[in-house]
Chain A
Amino acid sequence: MEMSGQHRIRASRQAVWEALNDPEILKQSIPGCEEIEKISDTSLTAKVKLKIGPVSAKFAGAVELSDLDPPNGYTIAGEGKGGAAGFAKGGAKVTLEEDGAATILRYEVNAKVGGKLAQIGSRLVDSTAKKMAEDFFGRFSEVVGTPEDMETAPEAVAAPPEAQGLSPLVWIVGLIAVVGVLLLIFAF
Chain B
Amino acid sequence: MAESGIGASVRRKEDNRFLTGKGRYTDDINRHGQAYAYFLLSPHARAKINGIDTSAAKQAPGVVGVFTAADLAADGVGGPICGWVVTQKNGEPHKSPAVSALASDRINFAGEQVAVVVAETLTQAKDAAELIEVDYDVQQAVTKMKDSLSSSAPQLHDDVPGNLCFDWEIGDKAATDAAFANAHHVTKIDILNNRLIPNAMETRAAIGDYDSGTETMTLYTTSQNPHVARLVLAAFMGLGPENKLRVVAPDVGGGFGSKIYVYRDEIVTLWAAKKLDRPVKWVADRSAAFLTDAHGRDHDTHAELAVDKDGTFLGLRVSTLANVGAHNQIFSTATPSYLYGCLLAGQYKTPAVYGEVKTVFTNTAPVDAYRGAGRPEATFVVERLVDKTARELGMDATDLRRKNFIPKDQFPYQSPCLVQYDSGDFNLLLDRAKEVIDYDGFAARRQESAARGKLRGLGLSCWIEACGLAPSAVVGALGGGVGQWESANIKFNPTGSVTVFTGSHSHGQGHETVYAQIVSDQLGVPFDSVEVVHGDTAVVPFGMGTYGSRSGPVGGGAIYKAAQKIIEKGRKVAAHLLEASAEDLEYADGTYTVAGTDRTKTLAEVAFAAYVPHNYPLDEVEPGLDETAFFDPANFTFPSGAYFAEVEVDPDTGHVTIMNMIGIDDVGTVMNPMIVHGQLHGGFAQGIGQALYEQCVYDENGQLITGSLMDYCMPRADNFPMFTTEETNQPCPHNPLGVKGCGEAGAIGSPVAMLNAVVDAIGTDIDMPATPEKVWRALQSRAQAAE
Contact = CB atoms under 8 A, between A and B. Distances in A.
Instruction: Answer whether A and B are interacting partners.
Output: yes
Contact of A84 (B126, B290, B705): B126
A122 interface: yes
Interface in B131-145: none
Nearest to B45: A114
Given A84-B40, A114-B44, A119 B287 contact: yes
B359 interface: no
B622 to A, nearest CB: 60
B710 A83 contact: no
B660 interface: no
B319 to A, nearest CB: 33
Contact of B707 (A83, A84, A87, A120): A120
Interface in B248-306: 287, 290-291
A123 B291 CA distance: 17
Interface residues of B, number: 21
Nearest to B699: A118
Nearest to A58: B130
Contacts of A112: 701
B43 A86 contact: yes
A178 interface: no
A113 interface: yes
A84 B704 CA distance: 15
Contacts of B291: 119
B147 interface: no
A175 to B, nearest CB: 19
B704 A118 contact: yes
A13 interface: no
B708 A120 contact: yes
Contacts, number: 50
A84 B129 contact: yes
A120 B710 contact: yes
A123 B126 CA distance: 25
Contacts of B707: 116, 118-120, 122
B610 interface: no
B110 interface: yes
Contacts of B110: 114-115, 118-119
Contacts of B43: 86-87, 114-116
Nearest to B700: A112
Contacts of A120: 287, 707-708, 710
Interface residues of A, number: 14
A118 B701 CA distance: 10
A79 to B, nearest CB: 11
A122 B704 CA distance: 9
B146 to A, nearest CB: 23
A80 B291 CA distance: 22
Contact of A118 (B126, B129, B130, B705): B705
Contact of B287 (A83, A114, A116, A122): A116
B711 interface: yes
B703 interface: yes
Interface centre among B41, B703, B704, B711 (most CB of A within 10 A): B703
A25 B711 CA distance: 39
B44 A119 contact: no
Contact of A83 (B111, B130, B703, B704): B130
B237 to A, nearest CB: 27
Contacts of A84: 40, 126, 129-130
B129 A123 contact: no
Contacts of B699: 118, 122
Given A84-B129, A84-B130, A122-B711, A113 B40 contact: no
Nearest to A117: B43
Contacts of B41: 115
Interface string B401-412: 000000000000
Contacts of B711: 122-123
B97 to A, nearest CB: 24
Contacts of A83: 129-130
Nearest to A113: B703
Contacts of B40: 84
A119 B708 contact: yes
Interface in B1-58: 40-41, 43-44
Nearest to A81: B43
A86 B43 CA distance: 6
A119 B704 contact: yes
Contact of A119 (B126, B129, B130, B290): B290
Nearest to B704: A119
A110 to B, nearest CB: 13
A120 to B, nearest CB: 5
Nearest to A120: B708
A123 B704 contact: no
B705 A122 contact: yes
B692 to A, nearest CB: 19
A116 B40 CA distance: 12
Interface string A54-85: 00000000000000000000000000000110
B288 to A, nearest CB: 10
A187 to B, nearest CB: 10
Nearest to A89: B138
Interface in B52-111: 110-111
23 contacts: A83-B130, A87-B43, A113-B703, A114-B44, A114-B701, A114-B703, A115-B41, A115-B43, A115-B44, A116-B43, A116-B287, A116-B707, A118-B704, A119-B110, A119-B111, A119-B291, A119-B703, A119-B704, A119-B708, A120-B287, A120-B707, A122-B707, A122-B711
Given A114-B701, A118-B110, A119-B287, 10 more contacts: A115-B41, A115-B43, A115-B44, A115-B110, A116-B43, A116-B287, A118-B705, A119-B705, A122-B699, A123-B711
